[in-house]
Amino acid sequence: MTWNPAHLPDQTGRTIVVTGATAGIGYFAAEQLAAAGADVVLASRSAAKLRVAENAIRGQVPNASVRSVVLELGSLASVDVAAAELAALPRLDAIVLNGGVMSMSGRATTEDGLPIMLGTHVVANIRLLAGILPTLAATATAHNSISRVVHTSTGYVAQYPTSVDNLRRTSRIGIVAYTQAKTATEVFAFELERRLRAAGAPIASLVVKPGVGVDAKTPQRVGIRDATTPYQRNPYTPWAQGKDAAAWSAVRAVTDPAAQGGEYYAPATGVKGSPIAIDPTPRTAAPTGDLAERVWRQLEELAGVALTMPAS
């Protein structure tokens, strides 16, 4: 289909969760989904920032259906509380796993002692999914639909091959740790899709990357992107897009009625533009040997859960 981010398919009646929704790409994904009629649940660690984000969305979408859940990805205990809140919703159609700490400190850890990148970008999501997969499946069955789990990755995965053989061995170089975390995200996301299909579960697992979104090209939103918020300089600004446009890949993966599990959405140019389905990296989408199984087992162990695939 021809995709137009300015005219999204009607999302009225659908409940969609966006993590990391108080700033940047997560905020704009939530705003766009609310404008399309979805009941949007913002999930982030700061209750104060969640209130600011809710108000900002209502300032753009006066009749928005938007609410919040506090989710600290650096604490598995907090993840459990948030998962229970989300699992108790009367309907849950999709989740955009966008959140994660962007600390470049190689020594930073989560409350549970996990490396900060791996812990917040991957392990917390495994724990969260363990709590909400049954609700996603129940919603799909009740509404004769397919629920969606959208995982956020980065172009670094394809550009800089990084080992995920041993996830306990994490680089102290921030960008390497981030790339390893997102590599593990992709391996897990594609393996999740295979397991969901094998179980006949009415849930699709998709992967997206946003391209390059920069503050200089991002629209103003009170408390989100204005004079009161930190401004990040980026050398790619002349070739980049705003964070509102960087949200389009995730928004398409959630809302496009033709989107299928196992697909990978990214900007048409790789850096910016309307999102298209691209070929995923073979070493994450179809890894050789038993790598996917080993990554899955490691992540379950680190998250302290065993993921059970719900049937239809």
Per-residue pLDDT of the chain (312 residues; tens, 9 = 90+): 578 999 999 999 999 999 999 999 999 999 999 999 999 999 999 999 999 999 999 999 999 999 999 999 999 999 999 999 999 999 999 999 999 998 777 789 999 999 999 999 999 999 999 999 999 999 999 999 999 999 999 999 999 999 999 998 888 898 999 999 999 999 999 999 999 999 999 999 999 999 999 999 999 999 999 888 888 888 889 889 999 999 999 999 999 999 999 999 999 999 999 999 999 999 999 999 999 999 999 999 999 999 999 976
Report yes or no on 121 lying in a domain: yes
22 falls within a domain:
yes
Please check whether residue 117 is in contact with residue 177, taking contact to mean a CB–CB distance below 8 angstroms: yes
Q: What is the pTM of this model?
A: 0.96
Residue 173's alpha-carbon distances to 16, 103, 115, 232, 255, in angstroms, are 34, 10, 12, 20, 36
Strand, coil or helix: 9: coil
Residue 195 DSSP SS3: helix
The pLDDT of residue 146 is 98
Question: What are all long-range contacts of 30-34, with beta carbons under 8 Å and residues at least 24 apart?
Answer: 30/57, 30/66, 31/56, 31/57, 31/60, 31/61, 31/221, 31/244, 32/5, 32/8, 32/244, 32/247, 32/248, 32/251, 33/8, 33/251, 33/254, 33/255, 34/61, 34/64, 34/65, 34/66
pLDDT at residue number 104: 75
Closest CA to 200 of 96, 309, 124: 309
Which 3-state string (H, E, C) describes 39-103? EEEEEECCHHHHHHHHHHHHHHCCCCEEEEEECCCCCHHHHHHHHHHHHCCCCCCEEEECCCCCC
pLDDT of residue 133: 98
| Pairing status of strand 275-278 against strand 264-267 | antiparallel
Using DSSP's 3-state secondary structure scheme, residue 221 falls into strand
Tokens standing for 157?
Answer: 């995965």
Residue 86: closest CA among 47, 42, 49: 42
Tell which residue, 71, 74, 107, has the closest CA to residue 87.
71
Dihedral sign for Cα atoms in the order 211, 19, 168, 197: negative
Q: Is residue 9 part of a domain?
A: no
Number of domains in the chain: 1
User: Is 47 within a domain?
Assistant: yes
Residue 5 within a domain: no
CATH number at residue 179: 3.40.50.720
Backbone angles phi, psi at 191, to 5 degrees: -70, -35
Residue 312: what pLDDT?
A: 66
Identify the pLDDT of residue 16: 98
Strand pairing report for 65-70 and 275-278: unpaired
Rounded Cα distance between 178 and 264, Å, is: 19
Retrieve residue 167's tokens. Answer: 């996830």
In a domain, 247, yes or no: yes
Which pLDDT belongs to residue 232? 82
> Is residue 312 a part of any domain in this protein?
no
Domain of 175, in residue numbers: 15-303
Give the residue from 136, 119, 39, 113 showing the smallest Cα distance to 72.
119
Q: Is residue 10 part of a domain?
A: no
